């Protein structure tokens, strides 16, 4: 379930941002790229790409979790999994593993599909409260989040996430929220997914209709 992967698994790395490092990276579980069913108004492609980007920006181990013998899934997600610029973000170490930089005050609540609830309850019964620290019913998370990872030469990889599965929104990154960029006059922005330069901005950058 996408909301569980983002609302629980990804959030679990937040306390370890300052200690996660080569040889001991935080692990929010294996990738579910290719496994998500359509949910809310979000496309499978958007969910897969955001999920992969999130794992890259927090330096999580990139372990493919779908059936790689399924050619249809591979065709659908391969440009995501093989994006060399995204993988470079994951593999670059410049002193920080990646962290949550900003998020909305607005909170959204999602109820897990019945089969996810049943799987979690069955795991608790089998393994002894495996999910004791989290809700078996659903998850609450910020309407948007901005994650970042420091790269080389004072550059940063930024992931701007709209967690509202029902509505698109504009998300703004204030450069003052990024360590080391507050005093930079001109910030060059590049799209990793499109592999193109977007432009030069002074104090903030807004991603529209994401």
Per-residue pLDDT of 14-73, as tens digits, reads 999 999 999 999 999 999 999 999 888 999 999 999 999 999 999 999 999 999 999 999
As a whole number of angstroms, the distance between CA 38 and CA 22 comes to 35
Backbone phi and psi for residue 172, each to the nearest 5 degrees, phi listed first: -115, 130
**Do residues 6 and 100 touch, judged by C-beta distance below 8 A?**
no
User: Angle of helix 44-57 relative to helix 84-91, nearest 10 degrees?
Assistant: 30
**Do residues 52 and 33 touch, judged by C-beta distance below 8 A?**
yes
| 107 pLDDT more than 90 | yes
Q: What is the pLDDT of residue 129?
A: 65
Q: Is 119 helix (H, G, I), strand (E, B) or coil?
A: helix
Q: Which residue has the higher pLDDT, 119 or 102?
A: 102
Distances (CA, A) of 113 to 2, 4, 31, 129: 11, 10, 19, 20
Taking residues 87-106, report their average pLDDT: 96
Q: What is the pLDDT of residue 125?
A: 82
Nearest to 42 by CA among 80, 92, 3: 3
DSSP per position, 133-183: TS-SSEEEEESEEEEEEE-STT-EEEEEEE--SS----EEEEGGGSTTTTT
Q: What is the pLDDT of residue 39?
A: 87
| 95 pLDDT more than 80 | yes
Q: Is 115 helix (H, G, I), strand (E, B) or coil?
A: helix
Backbone phi and psi for residue 122, each to the nearest 5 degrees, phi listed first: -65, -40
Burial, 93: exposed, middle or buried (Cβ in 10 Å; 0-12, 13-18, 19+)? middle
Q: What is the pLDDT of residue 53?
A: 98
Q: What is the pLDDT of residue 158?
A: 98
Q: Compute the residue count for the chain.
A: 210
Q: What is the pLDDT of residue 135?
A: 80
| 124 pLDDT more than 90 | no
Q: What is the pLDDT of residue 103?
A: 98
Q: What is the pLDDT of residue 127?
A: 77
| 132 pLDDT more than 80 | no
């Amino acid at each position: 379930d996408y909301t569980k992967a983002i609302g629980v698994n990804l959030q679990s790395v937040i306390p370890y941002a300052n200690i996660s490092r080569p040889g001991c990276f935080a692990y929010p579980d294996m990738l579910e790229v290719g496994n998500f069913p359509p949910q809310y108004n979000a496309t499978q492609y958007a969910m897969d790409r955001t999920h992969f980007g999130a794992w890259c920006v927090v330096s999580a181990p990139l372990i493919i979790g779908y059936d790689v013998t399924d050619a249809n899934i591979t065709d659908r997600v391969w440009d995501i999994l093989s994006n060399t610029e995204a993988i470079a973000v994951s593999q670059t170490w410049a002193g920080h593993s990646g962290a949550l930089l900003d998020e909305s005050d607005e909170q959204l609540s999602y109820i897990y599909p019945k089969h996810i609830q049943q799987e979690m309850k069955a795991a608790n019964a089998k393994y002894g409260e495996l999910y004791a620290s989290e809700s078996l019913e659903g998850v609450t998370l910020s309407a948007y989040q901005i994650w970042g990872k420091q790269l080389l030469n004072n550059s940063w990889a930024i992931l701007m996430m709209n967690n509202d599965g029902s509505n698109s929104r504009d998300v703004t990154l204030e450069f003052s929220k990024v360590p080391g960029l507050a005093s930079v006059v001109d910030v060059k922005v590049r799209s990793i997914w499109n592999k193109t330069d977007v432009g030069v901005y002074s104090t903030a950058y807004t991603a529209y209709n994401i």
